[in-house]
Amino acid sequence: MIITEEYSDFQVDLIQVNSARYLGDYAINVFFSDGFNRIVDFKPFLNNALHPSIRKYLDEVRFKDYQIVDGNLNWNNYDLIFPIEDLYKGIL
């Protein structure tokens, strides 16, 4: 027996990044689609990274060059990206 369920009335609210504002010293104020915002400090993550593809973002000019793409905070065409849930919680 195959059981199917109809999800026509089922709606999932996905939280996305609406905008972000660089504050300085590798901190970004991230504004989410549900109205919540959080200041995320990326400096510890970048300082603790061992891989050169991540450490290159310790160059502040490069770090500040992020974009919002499809509701995600994104650097250099997905070269650096974080799960929305981690940004929302402020845990990297």
Band of pLDDT at residue 2, cut at 50, 70 and 90: low
Greater pLDDT, 4 or 69: 69
What phi and psi, each to the nearest 5 degrees, are found at residue 75? -115, 130
Band of pLDDT at residue 4, cut at 50, 70 and 90: low
Say how far apart CA 89 and CA 39 lie, in whole Å: 10
What digits encode the pLDDT tens for the residues 47-82? Answer: 999 999 999 999 999 999 999 999 999 999 999 999
Roughly how many angstroms between the first and final C-alpha of the chain, as a whole number?
45
> Residue 10: pLDDT above 60?
no
